[in-house]
Amino acid sequence: MKLSLPENSRMLEKDFTFGVATASFQIEGGIDHRQPCIWDTFCAKSGTIADKSDGSVACNHFNLWQQDVQLIADMGVDAYRLSIAWGRVLNEDGSKNSAGVEFYRNLLRGLKTKNIKTFVTLYHWDLPQHLEDNGGWLNRQTAYAFRDYADLISRELGDLVDSWATLNEPFCSSYLGYEAGIHAPGKGQQSYGRKSAHHLLLAHGLAMQVLQKNCPDSMNGIVLNFTPGYSVSDSAEDMQATAYANDYFNWWYSRPIFEGKYPDIIDSFDDSIKPDIESGDMEIIATPIDFLGVNFYTRAVYKAHPTSIFEEIPPSDVPLTDMGWEIYPQAFTQLLSELHSRYSLPPIYITENGAAMPDQLTAGVVNDLGRIQYYQDHMNAVNAAIDVGVNVQGYFGWSLMDNFEWALGYTKRFGLVYVDYDTQQRYVKESGKAYTKLITSRS
Ligand code: GCO
């Protein structure tokens, strides 16, 4: 099975960026060479991770990075999106950990040598534990610590980075980590969700200012995830409930960046839930960005609920990925069009899109037709958005290789490359081969 795009597609032009993505905690291992982070602590608690695993080895990328750079180069991609582990490059007192900086210098240099563009995320959820011990993202000081980290590391590595992203998915850090409590640090209060989100966004804005100063020639921005909400019916109650859910989960993170305001639902919150916004914060958060990274996987369906305002209806009788997420590519086109009509946007890069599938490795082959179909349908959806005028300049598959899928441990496989965790052998899946064929077919 092949991946293809219409002959005249913008995505087939040579300057459209195709890449693959990973994140530090999910692939690196090498935990003895960095400070402990909130995910180390979270994994050590019972009942948090489906297979009771942790990130101590993961894909052993910390030791195997050279062969992984070769793997990425062999895939024929234009770019690689990775994240830096804050606690690998900084010591607890904020000073530089030279060995950790050297690890990323070598990695980035290896990529550059192979002509691969480097998209670096500063924060993909691995907060150093000592900062969490002081309140983590509930403490405003963490935003300033993040700014200082961004300052130091962008001065150290700026010459090797094409694009910096401040945060990956602040929704997950704040909502899943501090409000729902199913991700590290496992806190669970509504007020924590809203307050941590504000400090994360403030951290983003402060870091943006530093990046624009230190690295004016790189493309600097943020990566947000969106799970568009659809109303189960066209009744006014369900539609209103769905609009509320979209404000709560999606626009909560984008509107401050593009309009310097939270969605209006903030006015209906009890004072105890509201974030602590100081004067000047919203202007900092709205510091202009050079690109918006969009991560998309699925949609959600909502109905009205008498006490909790909205309720999500779990998908039934629809195609699902191995995560149990509905496969609904139309939502991707609609999301991109809606972002385009809501805000005055910089160029968009799709920084993550992909699917977990129940892969089987047989005689070295993973014939993951379902994943190829998912990629095909979602690339078509991006192409359709470009056709109606959305400025999308790149697309990254999630993920380069199977890795630690957070609370689900190693039970879910998202890779274009299969990882045998016993041997650390990598096997390019049929989807990975199809991706390479598509990319290298561009004239
Ligand atoms: C996210 C993260 C990735 C995940 C991926 C699949 O979007 O949650 O950026 O780290 O692994 O999305 O869930």
Q: What percent of the chain has pLDDT over 90?
A: 100
Task: Give, as one character, the DSSP assignment of residue 314.
Answer: P
Distances (CA, A) of 302 to 158, 175, 176, 249, 265: 43, 18, 19, 12, 17
Burial level of 318, CB count in 10 A (0-12/13-18/19+)?
exposed
- What is the tens place of the pLDDT at every residue in 375-430? 999 999 999 999 999 999 999 999 999 999 999 999 999 999 999 999 999 999 99
pTM for this model (two decimals): 0.98
DSSP string, 29-85: --GGGS--BHHHHHHHSTTSSTTS--SSSTT-HHHHHHHHHHHHHHTT-SEEEEE--
326 is catalytic: no
Which protein residues touch ligand 1 with a CB less than 6 Å away?
Answer: 23, 26, 168-169, 172, 225, 295, 352, 398, 405, 414
Q: What is the pLDDT of residue 274?
A: 97
169 is catalytic: yes
Task: Give, as one character, the DSSP assignment of residue 248.
Answer: I
CATH architecture of 10-440: Alpha-Beta Barrel (3.20)
Q: What is the pLDDT of residue 443?
A: 73
Atom in ligand 1 nearest the alpha carbon of residue 356: 6
Which residue among 28, 169, 326, 405 is the active-site one? 169
Residue 120's DSSP bridge partners are: 82, 164
Torsion of CA 420, 56, 81, 228, to 10 degrees: 90
Q: What is the pLDDT of residue 64?
A: 99
Element (H, E) at 192: helix 190-214
Q: What is the pLDDT of residue 203?
A: 99
Burial level of 405, CB count in 10 A (0-12/13-18/19+)?
buried
Tokens of 69: 């750079």
Instruction: Give 332's contacts (C-beta < 8 A, 6+ positions apart).
Output: 296, 353, 378, 381, 382, 385
Atom in ligand 1 nearest the alpha carbon of residue 225: 7
User: Mean pLDDT, the chain, as a whole number?
Assistant: 98
The candidate with the shortest Cα–Cα distance to 79, out of 40, 108, 105, is: 108
Atom in ligand 1 nearest the alpha carbon of residue 23: 10
- Over 80: is that where the pLDDT of 322 sits? yes
d(CA 11, CA 232): 33
